[in-house]
Structure 1
Amino acid sequence: MPALTLPEPVAAYLAADTHGPDEVARCFTPQGVVRDMGLTYVGREAIRAWKAASTSYAYVVVPFSVELIDGVHLVSCHVAGSFPGSHVDLTMRFRLERGLIASLEFTV
């Protein structure tokens, strides 16, 4: 199976996700948006706080497909870890601007 080629900002986000909330927040535009579990977080500080709240769970994200539709990168992933409902396949919808993430939405 060939290696999956992710857009650089998406690859940077996945790498930052293993290092902490500050690194994750830096992957976004200043007014970046995250939509997760019915909530919306706007701006780097809100995104940092969102990511900090999830540090009590250990998990691994393994992307298995990526496609570009109408300017949005859809990255499908297997996610497993110590969170409730663990082992889930989800889609991360990335909209990119100038080498950063403008928006990220998680869907199951």
Structure 2
Amino acid sequence: MPDNQPRTIALDALPEAITRYLTAHRDHDTATAVTAFTDDATVVDDGHTYEGVAAIGGWLGRAATEFTFTVQLTDARQTDADHYIATQHLEGDFPGGTVDLHNRFTLRDGLVERLVIEP
């Protein structure tokens, strides 16, 4: 029976596209963040789905200005060659003040094809 459970990996072992997105998003650099996605990528965040680079860019722009917060990457896991989970700890002026978010990435051809963000 195959084991599809994510295994812990070093934070710096995340693929380049994931690291590029996480770093650019933290730095509020939307132009760089969207380069980590395929043209037809999908992002699911807070009950909303964003399809395509233009929609993802709009979501990133709003997310960067809605609240002030700090972000720390706390965990990285890999399920297979194309599926990763990056956990970030956020603290800020959003409702609740702190949250651990699990960023579930699906890659295609070295870029992010799908990202689901959930607590």
TM-score by length of 2: 0.80
**Aligned partner of 2:22 among 14, 31, 34:** 14
- Structure-2 change in CA distance of 1:19 and 1:55 (3 Å): closer
Superposition RMSD on alpha carbons, in Å? Answer: 1.5
Gaps of 5+ in 2: 1-9
Residues 1:55 and 2:88 are matched in the alignment: no
What residue number does 2:3 align with?
none
Q: Give the greater-gyration-radius structure (CA).
A: 2
Q: How does 1:21-36 map to 2 (within 5 A)?
A: 21-36=30-45
Gaps of 5+ in 1: none
Please, which moves more after superposition, 25-34 or 56-65?
A: 56-65
| Greater percentage in helix | 2
The Cα offsets for residues 53-76 of structure 1, whole Å up to 9 and x where unpaired, read as 122222222111111125420111
Secondary structure (helix, strand or coil) at the match of 2:44 reads: strand
State the 4+ residue runs in structure 1 displaced beyond 6 angstroms. Answer: none
Secondary structure (helix, strand or coil) at the match of 1:84 reads: coil
What is the rounded CA distance, in whole Å, between the counterparts of 2:53 and 2:28 in structure 1? Answer: 16
What is the percentage of aligned positions where both structures have the same residue? 34
